[in-house]
A and B are shown apart, each in its own frame.
Chain A
Amino acid sequence: EVKLLQSGGGLVQPGGSLRLSCAASGFAFTSHAFIWVRQPPGEGLQWVSLINGDGDGTYYADSVKGRFTASRDNFRNTLYLQMNSLRVDDTAIYYCANVVGTGVWGQGTTVTVSS
């Protein structure tokens, strides 16, 4: 079964850090690029980051550039999103996804930034 299983997330104070993980199974992980997408409460999907198959190419939305870092471990078939200097407006459900290839999405993980 093609699957993305997310972990991480939680409640953090403004200025804090969190790392999200996304473990892939059931397909050829290293062949695919992945995106991170978020959904603030009551809003639509927002693209956050893109990472290529080798992990040496990354793109970021302007709103997270310089604060978020996407990476991957192709031995563990796992993606990561390191989020630093978190702000209240980063509060959202975060999804990892392989939209172009398998189409699989993670189940989502909630990040709440609040004092």
Chain B
Amino acid sequence: DVVMTQSPLSLPVTLGQPASISCRSSQGLEHSDGNTYLAWVQQRPGLSPRRLIYRVSNRDSGVPDRFSGSGSGADFTLKISRVEAEDVGVYYCIQGSYWPITFGQGTRLEIK
């Protein structure tokens, strides 16, 4: 199975400051169809998870443009340009290029 490794696991951030989460996979995630199935999911406290980004850098409908995804191969990043209070929660990277789908350990974002 593809191993997904996130860092940091805990991310204290001051309101209005940027934040960045890294996700590395144990092998490159480019699928044979040419797509890279790497997604980012947010779970706010007490709520169901919500996908923010799909195929590395595409924002889902309704996701604020302060969220952006980038990367290629086996190295990916989720960036928040200016953290807001509603961004508190746990962020997971998920790969879907190789079955079974696998998750990172999660990064807990908190406000300093």
Contacts and interface: CB of A to CB of B under 8 A. Distances in A.
A50 to B, nearest CB: 5
A97 to B, nearest CB: 7
Given A45-B43, A99-B39, A105 B50 contact: yes
A57 B24 CA distance: 27
Contacts of A35: 101
Interface stretch (B11-19, B76-84, B91-99): B91-99
A103 B60 contact: yes
Interface residues of B, number: 21
A103 B39 contact: yes
A58 to B, nearest CB: 10
Nearest to B102: A47
Most B Cβ at <10 Å: residue of A35, A37, A100: A100
A59 interface: yes
Contacts of A47: 100-103
Given A44-B92, A95-B49, A50 B99 contact: yes
Interface of B: 37, 39, 41, 43, 48-51, 54, 60, 90, 92, 94, 96, 99-103, 105-106
Interface of A: 35, 37, 44-47, 50, 59, 95, 97, 99-100, 103-108
